[in-house]
Structure 1
């Protein structure tokens, strides 16, 4: 069976295991059903996720011009402490930034490889953790805007990493951590502006189960730009990665805006 379309990050449904879907404009693939089966991926070109033009992708699925102009690619996306909508100050588009920044955000601890701290909109729980390949996660605090979440993350980065070791995540090398105990230790580390948002009674541990038949011993990252044609047998899915039997892995999110043909 043949599918063709523009790559976007896989959509997910929480379950045991998590369900993954690769969605194109006129079709979709339920990726869990391909486990243990061969598939061929062919790179066909580019299509910007914003303007739709067939221009080379720069970052985040956008062409160069869109990446440096549209509000959904502002610096505050990756650095929430730069958010200014709560002050009524625009970065690129105040109306858009108010919609996104002025809503509940969660600061969390998660273990994808080692323990990390991160920020996400409340509406993206637990999707954010699934996309990062977290084995388990717990919310620390819920705050009313992105700025407060950002300054909390900055403060906690003095004690926790904010990065994922993606290679350790993909071989399932996850450190054993008492996440709820570490959660309760963080109250004393929080900035004064958010300490009142900490709720010691709101402990909740999320455990995430990924559809993986076998984790690789060694991994080789597939670059569609230099290897535009690849065939392999799907052995697992974790985070936004497809894991193949030969140890090749494809980070689907890294190739948003790439037009591909997939043969199954």
Structure 2
């Protein structure tokens, strides 16, 4: 089977295991059905996710000019504490920013390679955890806007990481931890204006990824350096495809790359 289109992050459905989909303009592919099959990936061209033009991708699937202009790439996305819509203050597009920022947000703990703190819109639970390859996660607070979530994350980063080791996550060198215990321990470090939003009675969410075989070591596929690759798909975790030779392909970091995908 042959598929062709511009890469966007894989869509997911939580289940046991999680179901993964590549969605193109005119087609979609359930990648779980491609496990243990040979896959060919060929880079064809660039296609900016914002303007649709064939321009080199700069960051997050956007060409350089779009990255610095589109509200979808505002700095508050990566740094929630910089959100200003609650002050009626515009960054790039106030209407868009209000729609995104002024809705319930979750601050959470997730265990992908180690315990980390993160922020996501409530509507993105558990999708955000799946995208990070977390095998367990728990909510700490639920707040009404992105700014409050951001300042909570900043405060908790003093005590727990906000980064994931993608190599450890993909080789499955992880250990189970008690996230309820971690949540309770971090309660005292939550900013005063957020303490009323603390969640005290929830339990961990566990996630099951479709992986047949974890690699001992991983090497990342770079389409700029290797525009054509063939390998047998052995697993999907986070936003990564895992192949039999230890090659891993981060679909999300290749957004805006127009590719051909063949499955044998």
With the length of structure 1 as denominator, give the TM-score of the two structures: 0.99
1:220 aligns with 2:205: no
2:235 aligns with 236
Runs of 4+ off more than 6 Å: none
- Provide the C-alpha distance between the structure 1 equivalents of 2:215 and 2:14, rounded to a whole number of angstroms: 23
Distance between the aligned counterparts of 2:193 and 2:175, measured in 1? Answer: 31
- 1:39-188 equivalences under 5 Å are 39-188=39-188
1:184-223 correspondence to structure 2 within 5 Å? 184-201=184-201, 203-223=202-222
Query: 1:65-88 CA deviation, whole Å, 9 max, x = no partner?
Result: 100001110000000000000000
- Please give the root-mean-square deviation of Cα atoms over the aligned residues, in Å: 0.6
**SS, match of residue 187 in structure 1:** helix
Aligned length: 263
Asked if the contact 2:47–2:57 (Cα under 8 Å) also holds between the matched residues in 1, the reply is yes
* Aligned counterpart, 2:247: 248
Query: Residue 21 of structure 1 aligns with which residue?
Result: 21
Measured in 2, the distance between the counterparts of 1:199 and 1:252 equals 33
| Separation (CA, whole Å) in 1 of partners of 2:129 and 2:10 | 13
Query: By how many angstroms is 1:200 displaced?
Result: 1.4
Please list every run of 5 or more consecutive structure 2 residues that lacks an aligned counterpart in the other structure: none
Given that residues 135 and 174 in structure 1 are in contact (C-alpha distance below 8 angstroms), is that contact kept between their aligned partners in structure 2? no
Stretch moving more, 184-193 or 134-143 = 184-193
CA drift of 1:176 comes to: 2.6
Tell me if the contact between 1:138 and 1:179 (Cα under 8 Å) persists in the aligned partners: yes
Q: Deviations over 1:49-107 (max 9, x none)?
A: 01000111000000001000011100000000000000000000111000000000000
Contact residue 243 and residue 249 of structure 1 kept, 8 A: yes
| Cα distance in 2 for residues equivalent to 1:19 and 1:199 | 29
Offset of residue 186 of structure 1:
1.5
1:204, distance to aligned residue in structure 2 (A): 2.2
Partner Cα separation in structure 2 for residue 251 and residue 131 of structure 1: 11
Which runs of 5 or more structure 1 residues have no equivalent in the other structure?
none
Say whether the 8 Å CA contact 2:139–2:199 is kept in structure 1: no
Separation in 1, partners of 2:205, 2:52: 37
For 2:138 and 2:176, the matched residues in 1 are separated by 14
TM-score normalised by length of structure 2: 0.99
Separation (CA, whole Å) in 1 of partners of 2:99 and 2:175 = 37
Give 1:185 shift: 1.3
